[in-house]
Amino acid sequence: MTHFDVIVIGAGAAGLMCAATAGQRGRRVLLLDHAQKLAEKIRISGGGRCNFTNSGVRYDCYLSENPNFCRSALAQYTAQDFIDLLARYNIAWHEKKLGQLFCDESSEQIIAMLDAECGLGGVERRMGVTIGEVARDPAGGFTLQTADGVFACESLVVATGGLSIPQIGASPFGYRLAEQFGVALTPLAPALVPLTFHVDDAARFAELAGVSLEVEVKAGKGRFRENVLFTHKGVSGPAILQVSSYWAPGMEISIDLLPGQDAEELLLARANSEQRVANALVEWGWPRRFADAWLLAQGMDVRLRELSPKTRKQLAEAIHHWRLKPNGTQGYKKAEVTLGGVSTRALSSKTMQANAVPGLYFIGEVVDVTGHLGGYNFQWAWSSGFVAGKNC
Ligand code: FDA
């Protein structure tokens, strides 16, 4: 049996950050992963350029049973701290819209940087390792049975991520381990995920696949102004991915199709016009295919002068509050993240240690902290990984 001070399970974003931080404190660290390749999610993220953080990280850009939980970690390791780390490795980056920061070249640079940081900490890393039974030793500490042998440690850090994209290594291991040690979980659901149409809407709007327009979408407490993209199966695009984290089965979403404009006023100003309503909406920014299909579905494929005051009001109302009732999501195969996870009530926000199990830590996406789209989830992985790495 080989003994380590710290074993980190999961060599993804949070696990790498934690292992490097603990190793550089002088802890003897073993980093284990069942995947053959290191940090696959970092590699595929941001279209291969990794949206590694956001210049406007705030605690209210995260969903959690306890929205305040993430504050401590985000303050202990900030977006600027990560930017400073990139500077030490001469990794160039740029800001896209809404504060989203991406590598100029490749997400591989982030993986290489974190790997180098682990090297500086003397971290031993083993990939392709199947982990079996994990037991708590009577004297404290943990013993792990693995295909590579038996390992023991004082501190065990669980960084196994969420359930999305099972084809590249996602597994429920972290949730099962939490259950084994009596650490509470909150319900899990795919998030940052496309929503699917009911059959009727699919028949009406499937031909719009590929059409995109700027909208404001609302579901529950979520409200986002971004683009919606129509697909063969339903709706996607940043506005929908964002709002999907606030959507629950059976809920309607409300879409403002002319955000920031007053449709009734615009229609009224042309009340005597021979122009078709569809052509006016195209002038005001709608894609042609969308204007034609949407007005047909509303039974409003008419000329502007044919609108009575009542139908004009109804049309304006429908434009600003188009209600869609999705029948589901595209699931973990297409979700960027998993909502819910290890309950924040069971963890210390200052250290990420389980309150009832000294020496056991949970970090990253396996925890019930889910960020908005735009670099927030990686920032949570860096911050929670750093905090556990300082304390484990
Ligand atoms: P992560 O999933 O990174 O790592 C978990 C590790 O645990 C994996 O290496 C896995 O193999 C390992 N593991 C799992 N089960 C195991 C077991 N049983 N035994 C051993 N090891 C096990 N976020 C963002 O902020 N900006 C972005 O640009 C993107 N882009 C993006 C694109 C796509 C396609 C997806 C799917 C996701 C994103 N994300 C994102 C989200 C981001 O990737 C995610 O939130 C972080 O990777 C979470 O980091 P973790 O380290 O917690 O898990």
Q: What is the dihedral of CA 356, 341, 162, 225, to 10 degrees?
A: -140
Look over the chain and give the mean of its residue pLDDT values, rounded to a whole number. 97
> Probe ligand 1: pick from 188, 352, 377, max atoms within 8 Å of CB?
377
Distance from the alpha carbon of residue 271 to the mean position of ligand 1, in angstroms:
54
- The C-alpha atoms of residue 254 and residue 102 are separated, in whole angstroms, by 31
Residues 16-37 pLDDT 10s:
999 999 999 999 999 999 999 9
Distance from the alpha carbon of residue 378 to the mean position of ligand 1, in angstroms:
9
Q: What is the ipTM of this complex?
A: 0.99
Show which of 287, 304, 329 is a domain's final residue.
329
- The C-alpha atoms of residue 180 and residue 362 are separated, in whole angstroms, by 14
pLDDT over 90 for what percent of the chain? 95
Same domain, 301 and 352: no
Same domain, 71 and 101: yes
CA-nearest residue for atom 53, ligand 1, is 161
Owning domain of residue 323:
195-329
Residues 6+ apart with CB under 8 A from 56: 98, 99
* Angle at alpha carbon of residue 372, lines to 369 and 377, rounded to 5°: 55
Show which of 306, 329, 352 is a domain's final residue.
329
Instruction: Provide mean pLDDT across the span 65-90.
Output: 98
139: confidence class by pLDDT, cuts 50, 70, 90: confident
Helix 108-120 vs helix 79-88: angle between axes, to the nearest 10 degrees? 80
What was the pLDDT predicted at 167?
86
| H-run or E-run covering 175 | helix 173-180
Same domain, 127 and 215: no
How many C-beta atoms lie closer than 10 Å to residue 333's C-beta? 12
Report the SS3 class of residue 241: helix
- The C-alpha atoms of residue 110 and residue 261 are separated, in whole angstroms, by 42
Same domain, 181 and 46: yes
Distance from the alpha carbon of residue 53 to the mean position of ligand 1, in angstroms:
14
Residues 186-215 pLDDT 10s:
999 999 999 999 988 888 888 899 999 999
Cβ atoms of 240 and 203 within 8 Å: the answer is: no
Distance from the alpha carbon of residue 170 to the mean position of ligand 1, in angstroms:
7
Same domain, 223 and 304: yes
Distance from the alpha carbon of residue 82 to the mean position of ligand 1, in angstroms:
17
How many folded domains does the chain comprise?
2
Same domain, 46 and 87: yes
Identify residue 315 by its one-letter amino acid code: L
Identify residue 352 by its one-letter amino acid code: M
What was the pLDDT predicted at 204?
86
- The C-alpha atoms of residue 334 and residue 44 are separated, in whole angstroms, by 13
Same domain, 228 and 360: no
CA-nearest residue for atom 9, ligand 1, is 12
Q: Terminus-to-terminus CA distance in the chain, angstroms?
A: 21
The phi and psi torsions of 2 (rounded to 5 degrees) equal -100, 135
CA-nearest residue for atom 25, ligand 1, is 375
DSSP state of 118: H
Distance from the alpha carbon of residue 95 to the mean position of ligand 1, in angstroms:
22
CA-nearest residue for atom 2, ligand 1, is 161
Same domain, 205 and 149: no
Cβ atoms of 287 and 229 within 8 Å: the answer is: no
Cβ atoms of 227 and 176 within 8 Å: the answer is: no
Q: What is the dihedral of CA 29, 35, 36, 41, to 10 degrees?
A: -90
Pocket of ligand 1 (CB under 6 A): 9-15, 32-35, 41, 44-46, 50-51, 131, 159-161, 164-165, 169, 171, 173, 336-337, 364-366, 375-378, 381
CA-nearest residue for atom 29, ligand 1, is 45
- The C-alpha atoms of residue 382 and residue 53 are separated, in whole angstroms, by 9
C-alpha dist (Å) from residue 213 to 143, 291, 330? 54, 11, 21
Residues 90-120 pLDDT 10s:
999 999 999 999 999 999 999 999 999 999 9
CATH of the domain at 134: 3.50.50.60
| H-run or E-run covering 124 | strand 124-126
CATH of the domain at 216: 2.40.30.10
CA-nearest residue for atom 45, ligand 1, is 377
- The C-alpha atoms of residue 345 and residue 135 are separated, in whole angstroms, by 23
What was the pLDDT predicted at 203?
86
